[in-house]
Amino acid sequence: MHVFGILVLFGLGVTAAAVFLYPFFARFLVRELWALIAVGAGIGLAWAANFDMWSLWGVPVRAHWIGVTFTGLALGGIGYFFHEVLGLFAGLHRKFDDEATVIERGDMRRAA
C-alpha cells in the first residue's frame, strides 16, 4: 500500500514537472505530445530516485534497469492521468464561474 501511495505522490510530481517543462518545448512540439514530456519526466524521476515498484511488489523483472524504466513509464501515465483530471476540474470551474458571471450581470442572451 505504501508503494501505491509513493506512486501517486510521484505522479503528482511528474505532473508538476511536465507543466513546468511544457513551455520550453511548446514552440517545438505540438500540443498532443504533452504525454511524451510526462513520460520523460516520469522516467527521469524514477531513475533519479532509483525507484523500482516491481521489486517492491515482488514482481520478478529480468534486470533492475528494466524495472526502473517501466516504473518511469507508469509514473508518466499517472502524471498524464492527473493532468487530464485537473484539466477537467479547471474546465468545470471556468464553466460555472463564467455562467455565474453572465447570470449576475443579467445578460441572459449570452447564457444561451
CA separation for the pair 108, 97 (Å, rounded):
15
What is the chain's pLDDT, residue by residue, as a tens digit (112 residues)?
Answer: 788 899 999 999 999 988 888 888 777 766 677 888 889 999 999 999 999 998 888 888 999 999 999 999 999 999 999 989 988 998 887 777 776 566 666 655 554 5
DSSP result, 7-22: HHHHHHHHHHHHHHHH
Closest CA to 10 of 37, 43, 35: 43
Which grid cell is 74? Answer: 507508469
Question: How do the domains of the chain map onto residue ranges?
Answer: 2-111
- In angstroms, the first-to-last Cα distance of the chain is 48
Give the Cα separation of 35 and 22 in Å (integer).
10
Say how far residue 42 (Cα) sits from the centre of its chain: 9
Residue 50 φ/ψ, nearest 5 degrees: 50, 50
